[in-house]
């Protein structure tokens, strides 16, 4: 037996989505401000101080700024309610945005690597870096680490994979700023090649992060299921529902940061259709209240006392 959303559960999901969207907007606008100041400062000072590493880090921050607007755009569209064309909602808009973000970072990373390799092929063209580049690299390192901690706290509170990805992106920026700082320091102490080498490492970091984001998003778009621990927790919630005698064929697929679940639940064969339906409604309500599930479709199977264990397989 299949049944649709209950009105109250639908409202709860809408409130959850609104809360997540508000948190996403708040943290992302903070990131926009930080990245706008940093990218402008890093590129300007990088040009004045003749540091390719700092310029590369500034381009990295500029890509973060673009990524922030992608997050805001995705958050705005993913919170839309279900409609005729999207009966399960628009949560996968975030997943598509993560894929776009991954492709963007890969492209930026490749550009950085190519520019750094060009410099390394011509060591004589590497200029002496000025000390102001070191101070800006240190400022970027501290700012990005603080931004990472701020964004990750909010992302975990609202359980947003897109925000978590963006937060760890900020952490990768902090790591790249550290590498750039070391490259600038080496250049100042008579090792000029360390600056383009730092730019090369930043390019690799950016490209690797982009690959990870893109691969994760691609798998989610291909209906990857939840981890076994989460599936088992959902199964246990169903089993704990009064009247449910067994559960099998629990299947999940990701819908943005939420899940869609299909499950077979077993109820006593002597119960009326109405009683079995009410048990299924209760089971669904418990799952939606206790797990990040946007919808659960339940098929009711008859359970006979002499067939206990017949459907024990998950």
First and final CA of the chain: distance in angstroms? Answer: 19
Topology adopted by domain 7-221: Alpha-lytic protease prodomain-like (1.20.1510)
The C-alpha angle with vertex 144 and arms to 138 and 148, in degrees rounded to 5, equals 150
How much is the pLDDT for 214?
87
DSSP per-residue letters across 48-111? HHT-HHHHHHHHHHHHHHHHHHHHHHHHHHHTSPP-SS-TT-STHHHHHHHHHHHHHHHHHHHH
> What pLDDT, on the 0 to 100 scale, is given for residue 41?
93
Mean pLDDT by 10 residues, the chain (314 residues): 46 60 77 88 91 84 76 68 69 78 85 83 79 90 89 80 73 80 87 85 83 85 84 93 92 84 92 91 92 88 71 42
Residue spans of the domains in the chain: they are: 7-221, 228-307
pLDDT at 79: 65
How far apart, in whole angstroms, are the C-alpha atoms of residue 119 and residue 127? 10
Pick the closest to residue 51 from 233, 182, 151, 164 (CA basis): 182
User: Phi/psi of residue 99, each to 5°?
Assistant: -65, -45
Q: What is the pLDDT of residue 292?
A: 84
The answer to whether 207 and 101 have CB atoms below 8 angstroms apart is no
Q: Where do the H-state alpha helices sit in 122-227?
A: 132-158, 161-188, 194-221
CATH fold label, 228-307? Alpha-Beta Plaits (3.30.70)
Whole-number pLDDT of residue 1: 46
Total-model pTM: 0.63
What integer pLDDT is reported at residue 282 of this predicted model? 93
């Amino acid at each position: 037996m299949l049944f649709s959303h209950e009105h109250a559960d639908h409202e709860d999901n809408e409130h959850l989505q609104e809360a997540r969207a508000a948190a996403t907007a708040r943290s992302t606008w903070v990131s926009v401000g930080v990245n706008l100041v940093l990218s402008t400062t890093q590129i300007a000072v990088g040009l004045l101080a003749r540091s390719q590493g700092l310029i590369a880090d500034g381009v990295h921050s500029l890509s973060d700024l673009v990524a922030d607007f992608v997050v805001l755009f995705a958050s705005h569209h993913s919170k839309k309610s279900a409609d005729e064309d999207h009966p399960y909602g628009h949560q996968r808009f975030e997943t598509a945005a993560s894929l776009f973000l991954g492709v963007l970072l890969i492209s930026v990373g490749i550009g950085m690597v190519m520019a750094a390799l060009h410099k390394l092929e011509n060591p004589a063209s590497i200029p002496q870096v000025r000390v102001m580049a070191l101070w800006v690299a240190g400022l970027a390192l501290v700012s990005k680490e603080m931004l990472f901690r701020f964004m990750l706290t909010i992302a975990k509170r609202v359980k947003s994979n897109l925000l978590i990805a963006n937060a760890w992106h900020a952490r990768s920026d902090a790591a790249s700023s550290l590498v750039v700082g070391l490259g600038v320091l080496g250049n100042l102490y008579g090792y000029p090649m360390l600056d383009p080498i730092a730019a090369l490492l930043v390019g690799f970091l950016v490209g690797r992060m982009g690959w990870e984001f893109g691969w994760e998003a691609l798998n989610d778009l291909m209906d990857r299921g939840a981890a076994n621990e989460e599936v088992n927790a959902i199964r246990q919630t169903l089993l704990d529902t009064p009247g449910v005698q067994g559960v099998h064929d629990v299947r999940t697929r990701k819908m943005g940061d939420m899940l869609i679940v299909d499950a077979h639940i077993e109820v006593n064969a002597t119960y009326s259709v109405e009683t079995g339906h009410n048990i299924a409604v209760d089971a669904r309500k418990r799952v939606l209240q206790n797990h990040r599930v946007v919808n659960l479709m339940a098929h009711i199977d008859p359970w006979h006392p002499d067939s206990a264990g017949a459907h024990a397989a998950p």
